[in-house]
């Protein structure tokens, strides 16, 4: 069963029409815009609270997404989606970053580089940096977190991005604007992939209207936006079976935020692919890992004048966040609450995590690369759906690797999970919706405080994940409970 399209026969009076979809979408878009504008108000005056704003935003997002994915659309639907997305991002763009102060460090690192100083060399409060405190517009230095003891943690390509943005303007608004523009690259990548997969382009609403992105990128200005843009380009290149370009974009994503490295097993093609004959050849595909290794070496060499300080605050952050002690891992903490398992060591949990990633990597290894000699035509929007499914076989393992990292790592900050949303847009499964929106809402409530409250928040969040997974499986495998939308997604997205 396919989703309704404008080319289908005219609906009878009781059936939905595309113009009705658009009118309802405009009303929901207006509500999301008002909520995004209200977010700025909540910074200074408590009215319904951050949790009230986020809660209503989630409902608006869910209703709009369900509407677009199940009802007829026409050529006006996508412009409405993109127009509302832009307006919602403009409302918090010009305000201060109240929910996180990381963006101030981005601007500071750019300022340091323009002064000829390696950004990894000094902490912001070092006397050697005194002269730079007045080098930017706005109140940048006083807002920097960990200014007295933490060298910058951001990898080399992130630093190059900071240099470029502050070359244009060393301001908070310019940095946030550049990161919102990076979302445009992500949206382009998603639209390209949706079309190639034979999916309605309107499905991009799952990314464009996600309130967590409005809050964390346009509002707080998080660097993850650049990483998502590069991951999106890497997915397009991998779909086209271009290992060199895949390696370039994935390496730059890793040199922006380290976590995209977990995607390597899914994006790697183990055998060379002859684009002229569309055939998988004998041998080992080495260009992607070689390109990545070269870019890693070049990136860190660029800032290597500081020696081991080029890795910045990474070791301190690992220690501070309880990654070595095991204090931050919710699943390990949950095991410790089971009678008789209070003393399970962190090493056991880390071994379990390693085994999990090994299993998913093996799945990626087996499913994402066709066998030698197999005809594997490059899929385009004009070719058959079967070819699209074959070319996109890497997407489920990639989503699984990204999701496993978040579930095992159990992040304490909402911006860490936003890179899951592009995958969810391409593979719209109910557990993805439950996890991302549940995380977003819970971490705007009083349960976000570290300690017992955060443990309760995670209990609720992982409970939502289990429940939505059960519903998803039932909708696929129990005929009486099947929903037409999930059936329409199954051939390309959920088939073996």
What is the tens place of the pLDDT at every residue in 423-447?
A: 999 999 999 999 999 999 999 999 9
Instruction: Please give the structure tokens belonging to residue 358.
Output: 């090994």
Among 17-31, 119-133, 311-325, the range scoring the smallest mean pLDDT is: 311-325
Asked, for residue 9, whether it belongs to a domain, the answer is: no
Residue with tokens 């329409």: 488
Q: Report how far residue 293's alpha carbon sits from residue 428's, in angstroms, rounded to the nearest whole number.
A: 33
Most confident range (mean pLDDT) of 293-302, 339-348, 364-373 is 293-302
Give the distance, in angstroms, between the CA of residue 333 and the centroid of all CA atoms in the same chain: 26
**pLDDT of 383:** 46
Res 238 pLDDT > 50: yes
Confidence (pLDDT) at 490: 45
Read off the pLDDT of residues 58-69 as tens digits, 9 standing for 90 and up. Answer: 999 999 999 999
pLDDT for 374 equals 53
pLDDT higher than 50, residue 186: yes
Tell me whether residue 314 is in a domain: yes
- Measured CA to CA, the distance from residue 123 to residue 151 in angstroms comes to 5
Q: What's the mean per-residue pLDDT of the chain?
A: 88
Least confident of 121-130, 132-141, 195-204, 400-409: 132-141
* pLDDT grade for 95, boundaries at 50, 70 and 90: confident
Can you give the residue range of the structural domain that contains 419?
18-494
Judge whether 476 lies within some domain.
Answer: yes
Has residue 454 been placed in a domain?
Answer: yes
The tens digit of pLDDT for each residue in 96-108 reads 888 899 999 999 9
Per DSSP, what are the bridge partners of residue 375?
Answer: 279
Q: Is residue 205 part of a domain?
A: yes
Give tens-digit pLDDT for 294-339.
Answer: 999 999 999 999 999 999 888 888 887 777 777 789 999 999 999 9
Q: Which residue has the higher pLDDT, 353 or 17?
A: 353
Instruction: Flag whether 443 is in a domain.
Output: yes
Please report the DSSP string for 181-250 in residue order.
HHHHHHHHHHHHHHHHTT--GGGGHHHHT-HHHIIIIIIT--THHHHHHHHHHHHHHHHTT-HHHHHHHH
pLDDT of 158 > 60? The answer is yes
pLDDT on residue 390: 72
Residue 102: predicted pLDDT: 95
Quick check: is 3 in a domain? no
CB 295 within 8 A of CB 252: yes
Q: Is the pLDDT at 488 greater than 50, yes or no?
A: no
Across 189-193, 309-313, 318-322, 375-379, the highest mean pLDDT is recorded for 189-193
How is residue 392 annotated by DSSP?
T
Give mean pLDDT, residues 176-204. Answer: 97
Q: CA 447 from chain center: how many Å?
A: 23
Q: Bigger pLDDT: 17 or 205?
A: 205
Q: Check the CA dihedral 163-165-169-172 and report its sign.
A: negative
Domain count along the chain: 1
End-to-end CA distance of the chain: 18
pLDDT at 135: 64
Closest-CA residue to 210 (of 356, 414, 473): 414
pLDDT at 495: 35
- Residue 496, pLDDT above cutoff 60: no
Residues whose CB is less than 8 angstroms from the CB of residue 249 and which lie 6 or more positions away in sequence, other chains included:
230, 231, 233, 234, 237
Classify residue 493 by its DSSP letter: I
H or E stretch at 122: none
pLDDT at 320: 79
**What pLDDT, on a 0 to 100 scale, did the predictor assign at position 276?**
66
Of the candidate ranges 195-209, 366-380, 478-492, the one whose mean pLDDT is the lowest: 478-492
What pTM, to 2 d.p., does this model score? Answer: 0.90
Cβ atoms < 10 Å from Cβ of 174: 17
Does a structural domain hold residue 10? Answer: no
- The reported pLDDT for the residue numbered 134 is 75
What's the confidence (pLDDT) of residue 181?
98
């Amino acid at each position: 069963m396919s989703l309704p399209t404008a080319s289908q026969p005219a609906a009878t009076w009781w059936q939905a029409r595309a113009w009705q979809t658009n009118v309802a979408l405009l009303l929901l878009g207006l509500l999301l815009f008002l909520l995004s504008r209200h977010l700025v108000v909540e910074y200074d005056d408590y009215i319904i609270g951050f949790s009230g704003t986020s809660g209503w935003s989630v409902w608006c997002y869910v209703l709009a997404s369900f509407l677009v994915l199940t009802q007829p659309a026409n050529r006006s639907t996508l412009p409405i989606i993109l127009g509302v997305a832009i307006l919602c991002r403009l409302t918090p763009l010009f305000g201060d970053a109240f929910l996180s102060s990381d963006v101030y460090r981005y601007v500071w690192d750019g300022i340091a580089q323009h002064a000829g100083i390696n950004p990894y060399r000094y902490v912001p409060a070092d006397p050697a940096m005194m002269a730079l405190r007045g080098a930017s517009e706005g109140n940048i230095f006083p807002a920097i977190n960990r200014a007295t003891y933490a060298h910058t943690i951001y990898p080399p390509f992130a630093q190059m991005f900071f240099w470029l943005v502050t070359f244009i303007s060393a301001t908070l608004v310019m940095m946030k604007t550049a990161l919102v523009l990076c979302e445009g690259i992500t949206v382009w990548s998603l639209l390209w992939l949706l079309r190639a997969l034979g999916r309605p382009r309107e499905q991009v609403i799952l990314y464009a209207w996600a309130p967590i992105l409005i809050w964390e990128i346009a509002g707080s200005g998080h660097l993850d936006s650049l990483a998502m843009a590069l991951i999106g380009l890497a997915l397009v290149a991998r779909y086209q079976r271009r290992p060199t370009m895949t390696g370039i974009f994935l390496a730059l994503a890793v040199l922006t935020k380290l976590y995209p490295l977990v995607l390597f097993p899914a994006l790697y093609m183990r055998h060379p692919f002859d684009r002229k004959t569309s055939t998988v050849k004998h041998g080992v595909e080495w260009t992607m890992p070689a390109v990545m290794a070269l870019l890693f070496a070049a990136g860190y060499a660029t800032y290597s004048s500081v020696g081991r300080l080029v890795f910045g605050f990474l070791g301190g952050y690992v220690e501070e966040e309880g990654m070595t002690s095991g204090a931050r891992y919710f699943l390990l903490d949950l095991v410790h609450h089971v009678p008789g398992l209070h003393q399970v060591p962190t090493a056991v949990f880390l071994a379990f995590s390693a085994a999990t990633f090994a299993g998913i990597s093996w799945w990626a290894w087996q499913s994402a690369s066709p066998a030698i000699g197999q005809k594997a035509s490059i899929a385009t929007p004009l070719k058959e759906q079967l070819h699209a499914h074959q070319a996109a076989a890497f997407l489920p393992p990639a989503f699984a690797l990204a999701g496993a990292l978040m579930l095992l790592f159990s992040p304490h900050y909402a911006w860490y999970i936003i890179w899951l949303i592009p995958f969810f847009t391409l593979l719209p499964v109910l557990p993805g919706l439950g996890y991302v929106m549940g995380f977003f809402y819970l971490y705007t409530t009083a349960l976000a405080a570290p300690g017992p409250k955060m443990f309760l928040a995670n209990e609720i969040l992982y409970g939502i994940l289990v429940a939505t997974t059960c519903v998803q499986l039932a909708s696929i495998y129990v005929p009486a409970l099947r929903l037409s939308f999930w059936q329409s997604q199954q051939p390309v997205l959920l088939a073996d």
